[in-house]
Amino acid sequence: MKLSELGEFELIRRITANFPKPPEDVLEGIGDDCAVIRLPDDSVLLVTTDLLIDRKHFISALISPRQLGRKSMIVNLSDIAAMGGFAHSFFVSIAIPPGFDVEYIDEIYSGFRELAVTAGIVLLGGDTTGSETDLTISITLLGRAEKGKFLLRKGAQVGDCVQVSGPLGGSAAGLYMLRTGIPRDIAPALLSTHEEPPLRLATGQMLAGISGITAMIDISDGLLQDLGHICRAGGVGASIDISRIPLPVDLPEFCRSLDLDPTDWMLSGGEDYELCWTVHPDHEQEALRAAFDSGAHQAATIGQITAEQTITAHIKERRIQTDRIGYDHFPRSS
């Protein structure tokens, strides 16, 4: 069977299905942004891992090694942020093909270090090897959270508000600029979002500390895909008002000048690394204030959780087709 007949998420389900059930101190195993393991003092250990590979997740010719280091860290820190956790330490495994010199690797590590200092975490190990193919970076990150003070993908309730921590679509637009060779000064903010996405650790922590928030995820694969995970985990659906999604600086003007439609990027573009969460309407403003206070100044309510188990997106009365939902490593060929 071809991988594209299954898709990424079915494949993960299939390959992980026949393993023993985790013991009872594992509060969440496979399926959330982090695994959650209860510690003897009732706090929890959070563990997440992500793999980045040249030509798939980044193009080494188009990103500086320092930015690559930063971005590899953000991809992982974002999963800790999505649980409302506190990052603790990390491990780095790296496979280096011929042609990358020592100074290049130094620069990747200076990117790791910048984010490690910002997040207050330490490097505890990893693995180093040569590679016959592409530059590959895998980071495993450990984090902590207090008992009852972390958020999962599951828990969204019908009637909850859907909120996001910031603008969507900027990273996909930045990638488009890189791929098509559009000069940086046309829309610098879009390129920066792609190269140096935001770190929403503090936002996640603030949100995990207030009541009424029912579920959270980070937007790595596009809003529809990632909100889709919240919906599937909660047995609910969502209705999104596209006109309420915060717009990245530079995006409207960029799209106007090139006659492009930003909708797809906002709904399905990946790598914005903003958070998406659901909150009881009584706590809508409190959640927005908490996000704002943590530095997420464009946080907004963008829709509602519905009983019908589909995601619809609309601008005023116009309903947008949402079958292209987000990033899948093995997209169906149909």
φ, ψ dihedrals at 31, nearest 5°: 125, -10
Report the residue number, 52 or 255, with the smaller CB distance to Mg ion.
52
Taking the least distance from each CB to ligand ADP, the nearer of 45 and 242 is 45
Return the residue of 36, 46, 50, 63 that touches ligand ADP, per CB under 6 A: 50
| Residues 168-207 as x/- pattern, contact with ligand ADP by CB under 6 A | ----------------------------------------
Task: Tell me the pairing of strands 300-306 and 161-164.
Answer: antiparallel
* d(C-alpha 319, C-alpha 287), whole Å: 28
Chain-centre distance for alpha carbon 239: 20
Q: Which does 6 bind (CB under 5 to 8 A by kind): Mg ion, ligand ADP, none?
A: none
Which residue, 252 or 331, is less far from ligand ADP as judged by CB? 331
- Which residue from 28, 54, 160, 218 is in contact with Mg ion, where contact means CB under 5 A? 218
- Residue that has been written with the tokens 């996001």 in this structure: 164
Full 3-state SS string of the chain: CCHHHHCHHHHHHHHHCCCCCCCCCEEECECECCEEEECCCCCEEEEEEEEEEECCCECCCCCCHHHHHHHHHHHHHHHHHCCCCEEEEEEEEEEECCCCCHHHHHHHHHHHHHHHHHHCCEEEEEEEEECCCCCEEEEEEEEEECCCCCCCCCCCCCCCEEEECCCCCHHHHHHHHHHHCCCHHHCHHHHHHHHCCCCCHHHHHHHHCCCCEEEEEECCCCHHHHHHHHHHHHCCEEEEEHHHCCCCCCHHHHHHHHCCCCHHHHHHCCCCCCEEEEECHHHHHHHHHHHHHCCCCCCEEEEEEECCCCEEEEECCEEECCCCCCCCCCCCCC
Spatial separation of the C-alpha atoms in residues 166 and 168, rounded to whole Å: 7
Closest C-alpha among 221, 232, 238 to residue 312: 238
Q: Which is nearer to ligand ADP, 33 or 274 (CB)?
A: 33
177-216 footprint of Mg ion as x/- string (CB under 5 A) = ----------------------------------------
Question: Could you tell me the smallest distance in angstroms from the CB atom of residue 224 to ligand ADP?
Answer: 14
Residues 6-25 that bind ligand ADP (CB under 6 A): 12, 15-16
Indicate whether 79 belongs to the interface with Mg ion (CB under 5 A).
yes
| Min dist. Cβ of residue 325 to ligand ADP (A) | 13
Our finding on whether 47 is near ligand ADP (CB under 6 A) is: no
CA distance 279 to 316: 22
Q: Which of ligand ADP, Mg ion, none sits in contact with 155, Cβ below 5 to 8 A by type? A: none
Out of 192, 220, 268, 294, name the contact with ligand ADP by CB under 6 A: 220
Residue 274 engages Mg ion in binding (rule: CB under 5 A): no
Q: Work out the widest C-alpha separation in the chain, in whole angstroms.
A: 58
From 28-36, 189-197, 299-307, 319-327, span contacting ligand ADP (CB under 6 A): 28-36
Please report how close the Cβ of residue 12 comes to ligand ADP at its closest, in angstroms.
5
- What number of chain residues touch ligand ADP (CB under 6 A)? 10
By CB under 6 A, tell whether 31 contacts ligand ADP: yes
Site string for Mg ion, 21-60 (x = CB under 5 A): ------------x---------------------------
Q: Which of 3, 14, 25, 30 binds ligand ADP (CB under 6 A)?
A: 30
Closer Cβ to ligand ADP, 49 or 263, answer by number: 49
- Please give the residue ranges that form the binding site for ligand ADP (CB under 6 A): 12, 15-16, 30-33, 50, 79, 220
- Please give the residue ranges that form the binding site for Mg ion (CB under 5 A): 33, 79, 218
